[in-house]
Amino acid sequence: MNWLASIGARALNVLAAWGRAAIFFIDLLAALPAGLRRPMLVIEQMHAIGNRSLLIILASGMAVGFVLALQLYNTLITFGAAESLGLVVNLSLVRELGPVVTALLFAGRAGTSLTAEIGLMKAGEQIAALELMALDPRQRVLAPRFIAGMLSMPLLAILFSAIGILGAWLVAVGLIGIDAGNFWSIQQNAVDVWRDVGNGVVKSAVFGVICTAVALYQGYETEATPEGVAYATTRTVVVSSLAVLGMDFLLTALMFSAPS
Amino acid sequence: MRPTPGVSPLSSDDLIEIDRVSFGYDASRLILNDLSLRFKRGQVTSVLGNSGCGKTTLLRLIGGVHGANSGRVVFDGEVIDVRDRAQLYRLRRRLGMLFQFGALFTDLTVYDNVAFPLREMTDLPEGMVHDIVLMKLNAVGLRGAAPLKISEVSGGMARRIALARAIALDPELIMYDEPFAGLDLISMGVAAKLIRTLNDVTGATTLLISHDVPECMAISDWVVLMAAGGRVVAQGTPAELMASTDPEVRQFVRGEPDGPVKFHYPAPDIAVDFGLAPSPSVGVARGAVA
């Protein structure tokens, strides 16, 4: 019966971990007003989380735009639909690739940085020092970072999509020779600001909540050792990525399942 | 007079009472087992003991970082309940703590670290914060280091900065976790004198945990000797402990290698570990601690 006890113990551990994560998330939400009362800390964190992620986001957006234009042109030309290249690129980026790829890059760049920072603060007893100064670390440390992450992600996703479309324009118009007027006008006519762009922004805001909350939780709950911090940063990337991909399917089904 | 083991006499002047407290990070290994102690208001009390005997854990229990598995910790007549955050934070506003490794905020300068509790916990104007910070830094001899980053200061300096931060708000109870570790002789003397002076001038209660016997004996009103498991070996005034004939007390205060206090962590016979003698019990893994 040892195997049965082992399965039971594992199931209990998983449930306890989910419970701890849920309590952490509720505490984090409760700390948000306190975080908003510290706008300078939020701005500092937006600089650290958002601004310092700009290079990787813009470079990736440009590269994705380049290859999207090339790959889609090769497919669309087969069906005589090359003039719709601008539209397909735009919708791909704004609805899906912008929010999702930005979130995955965010988890790797800013998420790991947040986890390591909080984990090392815990290892260096800075979190305990705040507690003993009667300052709630959730309000002083976590909430400003959470708000900054939530605000930064949609902005980064918009920039990713914008630079991606520019990259696709460079390839489509400059390299392939598609008419520039057609490239832009078909987007102007067929892309809906609320349904397409708006839903993309909502998606990226949800991903911002997920990635930042996961990163902060992993840092806050980490074992305060070098191995613990290393393990927590890895878990941040894995858990955030899986959660983003799963949530993306759910949101896409909710937002775009009905034909426009 | 022979020092008295166990609980000190009851007194209405006690600021902190540790009442039959047991604590372990996991239930199978208790760090403190049925510990009872009292700390008098306005006194400097040192808790001395070997590494790993539960001294830091004791401070964390008083600060409400951990809750006791059993027993109660009483701060100025209030039983500390770690689940009651409002009570915890109210009590914590009355204490300052120097952490074993400083726990300084590495993204702030020396000045900002000391100013941190003043800015966060009070509405003092920046000019007054400036004056207090420089006074506290001057007290620990580091006024000139105010603009430095934490990465630019040595370990001993970091501890002195942490000391300045711990006393920034002139708390009612100041807890020092190994304040002398890593300090050079001059800094150690200055720090010891500062701890005593602060206690006397501000009327605070000081709780000091350390294994530096001479410094603690020189500045303390009351000394508690603790052994593994949180067992109180003896307690009394420094003079009483120094004059004690108890072999365990003598060994500790004189730092003698041989005596009732074992240097080695419990282990099987060394011949068993090196495979030169048979293991006394079948089924005990090689290298496992007895």
Query: What tens digit of pLDDT does each residue of A3-22 get?
Result: 889 999 999 999 998 999 99
Question: Which one of B61, B85, B105, B118 makes the best mutation probe of the A interface by having the most chain A beta carbons within 10 Å?
Answer: B105
pLDDT at residue B48 above 70? yes
Inter-residue contact A72 to A89 (CB < 8 Å): yes
Q: Which residues of A, range 146-175, sit inside 8 Å of B by Cβ?
A: none
pLDDT of residue B287: 43
Nearest chain A Cα distance for residue B95, angstroms: 8
pLDDT digits (tens, 9 = 90+) for B144-202: 888 999 989 888 788 889 989 988 888 889 999 988 887 788 888 888 888 888 888 88
pLDDT of residue B6: 43
Show contacts of B120-129: CB within 8 Å, 24+ apart. B120/A133, B120/A135, B120/A140, B121/A133, B121/A134, B121/A135, B121/B93, B121/B169, B122/B169
Which residues, 6 or more positions from B93, have their beta carbon under 8 angstroms from its beta carbon? A134, B121
- In chain B, which residues touch A (CB < 8 A)? 60, 63, 65, 85, 88-90, 92-93, 95, 97, 99-101, 103-106, 116-117, 120-121
Using the beta-carbon criterion (under 8 Å), do B120 and A140 form an inter-chain contact? yes
Give the predicted TM-score (pTM) of the model: 0.82
Using the beta-carbon criterion (under 8 Å), do B65 and A132 form an inter-chain contact? yes
Inter-residue contact B15 to B75 (CB < 8 Å): yes
pLDDT of residue B1: 39
Using the beta-carbon criterion (under 8 Å), do B121 and A131 form an inter-chain contact? no
Q: Which burial class, exposed, middle or buried, applies to B286 when counting CB atoms under 10 A from its CB (0-12, 13-18, 19+)? A: exposed
A133 touching B, CB under 8 A?
Answer: yes
Q: Is this prediction's ipTM beyond 0.90? A: no
3-state helix, strand, coil in chain B (%, to 5): 35, 20, 40
Alpha carbon distance B247, B265 (integer Å): 20
Nearest chain A Cα distance for residue B151, angstroms: 13
Which of A155, A112, A139, A109 lies closest to A29, judged by CA?
A: A139
Alpha carbon distance A250, A230 (integer Å): 31
Band (A88; pLDDT cuts 50, 70, 90): very high
